[in-house]
């Protein structure tokens, strides 16, 4: 039987659907997709750079609640509303990593929750 533990950062917005923001299982922490929703429930989608920063800050809050940091991410998936955002998202995303960034893919999808332009999910490992 796999033991899993729910991670709910105290200052996060309530999930929009029935899911857990992050789940720890074994040495891994699995992060649900994060959008540019701040802790008060406001979306920050006017500018792709601002939106991506909010998403990455949300990822960071999940990691912190699990006792981890960005350096613990081993795999990330980036969902984009349009590949035209790819370069800007890469620039902002890359600024969060000082060492080896995680493995990842970036894909364009037909639509994302609440009309956002970027959503990021990931896996972290407790070393």
Task: Count Cβ atoms below 10 Å from residue 50 Cβ, excluding itself.
Answer: 13
Number of domains in the chain: 1
Question: How many Å apart are CA 8 and CA 25, to the nearest integer?
Answer: 14
Instruction: Please report the pLDDT score of residue 53 as a whole number.
Output: 98
Instruction: Please report the pLDDT score of residue 115 as a whole number.
Output: 94
Q: Which domain holds residue 110?
A: 4-125
Instruction: Please report the pLDDT score of residue 1 as a whole number.
Output: 66
How do the pLDDT tens digits run along the chain, 127 residues long?
A: 678 999 988 877 777 788 899 999 999 999 999 999 998 889 999 899 999 999 999 999 999 999 999 999 999 999 999 999 999 999 999 999 998 999 999 999 999 999 999 999 999 999 7
Nearest to 102 by CA among 29, 18, 9, 13: 29
User: For the domain that residue 95 is a member of, what is the CATH number?
Assistant: 3.30.1330.40
Burial class (CB in 10 A: 0-12, 13-18, 19+), 127: exposed
């Amino acid at each position: 039987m796999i033991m899993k533990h729910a991670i709910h950062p105290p200052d996060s917005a309530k999930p929009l659907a029935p899911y857990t923001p992050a789940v720890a299982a074994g040495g891994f922490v699995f992060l649900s997709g994060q959008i540019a929703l701040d802790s008060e429930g406001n979306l920050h989608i006017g500018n792709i750079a601002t939106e991506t920063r909010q998403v990455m800050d949300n990822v960071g809050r999940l990691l912190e609640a699990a006792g981890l940091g960005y350096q613990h991410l081993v795999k990330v998936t980036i969902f984009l509303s349009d590949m035209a955002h790819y370069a800007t998202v890469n620039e902002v995303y890359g600024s969060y990593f000082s060492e080896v960034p995680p493995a990842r893919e970036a894909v364009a999808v037909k639509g994302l929750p609440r009309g956002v332009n970027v959503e990021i999910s990931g896996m972290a490992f407790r070393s």
